[in-house]
Amino acid sequence: MCQLCGVSFAIARHRRADEPPSAAWDYTGSRYGSLILEALFRETCRDTGSGCELLESESSTYQHIANPECASDNGYSGCRISVEEMKGCRAVQVLVKKREGWEPEDDDEDFEIKSEYFLTGIGDGSPDCVPLEDLRPARHGIESIHIANVDCDYDWGLPFHPTCFQIFKRVSMLHLGNIDVQGLWEWRQRDCTFEEFVGFPRNVAVRVASEQRWRHEPGSEYLVANPVNIPGLQALLKRLWGGPGPEEVFRREAKNLENPSADPFTTLPTETISMVVEYLSSEDIANLRLATRAARELPTILFRRLLLEDMPWMWEAEDVPLGDVDWYKLYCTVKFGWVGLKGLMNRKRIWKDVEEIVRRIEKDRRSKRKMDSD
């Protein structure tokens, strides 16, 4: 499993009838597609009237062709998540501790050069590959390696999705000021017994799916959606470009108040109200608007700050020029209207998990500093 997000690398997919055979694969990533025993198919789909089909494959197995009502938990249905959305869900990269004689290479990142750890190339998350093999490129000569999620011999690597590690780098920089791979390694060695790794406070859907073989529950497809390269996200952002500039105001009538004359905020200059809301959270601003007419007009640029504070995982917003987007509309779209973007849902989930990991790293750092100072 991915050390950061808790999701298995051994993910399967059932293709739709209109998709090519390459759009389906089983737990092992087999090119033969999502193979299934006929008896198992009867239990999950045929007897439930889902409309799924079986295509004869080899020996006693068949290829599962998904219908919109597919109830199988042996693979995610192609009717609910596309191949493009799932890109990278089986990819595994490994953090490895340097051995004596390690030499830097041209493509090393700064944290690899400065720390005691480096990254391997990328492999496929087949559950039958022990050790994990065929890592490409073979960075620092590593083509295969054993991996483990729990405290183990230091030679066993720490595995994660490359996309999840990108999120870790962002969260670590945000909270710690550096990409703390040493802290990540020590967290596994210190806190990750089997019981503690399984008991890590993850999303309920991850807990339900975490069995000996990943349980592909219908409705939880977003767990395997690429959280970095998200189909549809850039198109959504472009639709919001060219909106009100930063000096424009967002207007919405406040609730009718029984005694407006008793409202102390109406005596304050607009500039003072603007200064006040700059220090308030989105929840506080919403409550203020319910309490006073004085807060009925707010500059749209305010919602840029709220977006970055409330949704730090929406990093695309950092690079949007101030006057090129309707910040209020973007804030509402990301907060309330992005359910169709599975990758963004997954990014939010992973960000929360990684923030908890970084919080534990930070706590350990503080404890060590306190011990050193005593």
What are φ and ψ of residue 333, in 5° steps?
-65, -45
Contacts of 225 (CB under 8 A, 6+ apart): 81, 85, 86, 89, 342, 343, 345, 346
In a domain, 194, yes or no: yes
Q: Look up residue 63 and give its two tokens.
A: 């290829």
**Same-domain check for residues 237 and 323:** yes
The pairing of beta strand 13-16 with beta strand 117-124: unpaired
**Same-domain check for residues 213 and 351:** yes
Which residue pairs, CB below 8 angstroms and at least 24 apart, start in 316-325?
Answer: 316/233, 316/234, 316/237, 320/237, 320/241, 322/245, 322/246, 323/245, 323/246, 324/241, 324/242, 324/243, 325/237, 325/240, 325/241, 325/242, 325/243
- The domain of 108 spans 91-222+346-373
Q: Look up residue 194 and give its two tokens.
A: 């089997």
What are φ and ψ of residue 166, in 5° steps?
-60, -40
Going by pLDDT thresholds of 50, 70 and 90, the confidence category of residue 153 is low
d(CA 184, CA 188): 7
Return the closest-CA partner of residue 346 out of 100, 11, 35, 79.
11
In a domain, 4, yes or no: no
Going by pLDDT thresholds of 50, 70 and 90, the confidence category of residue 41 is very low
**Same-domain check for residues 330 and 359:** no
In a domain, 153, yes or no: yes
Going by pLDDT thresholds of 50, 70 and 90, the confidence category of residue 361 is very high
SS3 68: coil
Residue 250 has pLDDT above 60, yes or no: no
Looking at 58, 85, 112, the residue that finishes a domain is 85
SS3 157: strand
This prediction has a pTM of: 0.85
Highest mean pLDDT among 50-64, 145-159, 207-221, 291-305: 207-221
Look at 6-10, 97-101, 280-284, 288-292 and tell me which has the smallest mean pLDDT: 288-292
For 188-244, the pLDDT digits (tens) are 988 878 888 888 999 999 999 998 889 999 999 999 999 999 998 888 888 877 655
**Same-domain check for residues 207 and 350:** yes
**Same-domain check for residues 120 and 265:** no
In a domain, 8, yes or no: no
* DSSP H or E stretch at residue 342: helix 342-373
| Contact assessment for residue 11 and residue 19, using Cβ atoms and an 8 Å cutoff | no
Looking at 85, 115, 135, the residue that finishes a domain is 85
**Same-domain check for residues 112 and 209:** yes
**Same-domain check for residues 129 and 266:** no
- pLDDT value of residue 11: 96
In a domain, 216, yes or no: yes
Look at 2-16, 152-166, 321-335, 352-366 and tell me which has the smallest mean pLDDT: 321-335
Residue 44 has pLDDT above 70, yes or no: no
Estimate the share of the chain in helix, then strand, then coil, as percent rounded to the nearest 5: 45, 15, 45
In a domain, 2, yes or no: no
**Same-domain check for residues 107 and 157:** yes
Return the closest-CA partner of residue 334 out of 299, 358, 366, 308.
308
DSSP state of 119: E
**Same-domain check for residues 97 and 210:** yes
**Can you say whether residue 194 is alpha, beta or left, with left for phi > 0 and alpha for psi between -120 and 50 degrees?**
alpha
In a domain, 1, yes or no: no
Looking at 68, 85, 102, the residue that finishes a domain is 85
Name the burial class of residue 252, with classes exposed (0-12), middle (13-18) and buried (19+) by CB atoms within 10 angstroms of its CB: exposed
**Same-domain check for residues 142 and 206:** yes
* DSSP H or E stretch at residue 327: helix 327-336
Going by pLDDT thresholds of 50, 70 and 90, the confidence category of residue 34 is low
d(CA 285, CA 277): 7
DSSP for 208-254, written as a single string = HH-SSS----TT-GGGGS-SSS-TTHHHHHHHHBT---TT-EEE-PP
Q: Look up residue 244 and give its two tokens.
A: 């009100």
DSSP state of 256: P
**Same-domain check for residues 108 and 201:** yes
d(CA 69, CA 358): 40
d(CA 215, CA 205): 10
Domain count, the chain: 3
In a domain, 321, yes or no: yes
Which residues make beta-bridge pairs with 298? 250
| Total residue length of the chain | 374
Average pLDDT in the chain: 84
SS3 203: coil
| Contact assessment for residue 314 and residue 334, using Cβ atoms and an 8 Å cutoff | yes
Residue 38 has pLDDT above 60, yes or no: no
Q: How far is CA 168 from CA 119, 182, 355, in A?
A: 14, 13, 8
The pairing of beta strand 13-16 with beta strand 61-66: parallel
Return the closest-CA partner of residue 174 out of 362, 4, 364.
362
Going by pLDDT thresholds of 50, 70 and 90, the confidence category of residue 252 is low
Residue 154 or 96, more confident: 96
Residue range 264-288: average pLDDT?
76
Residue 312 has pLDDT above 80, yes or no: yes
**Same-domain check for residues 190 and 324:** no
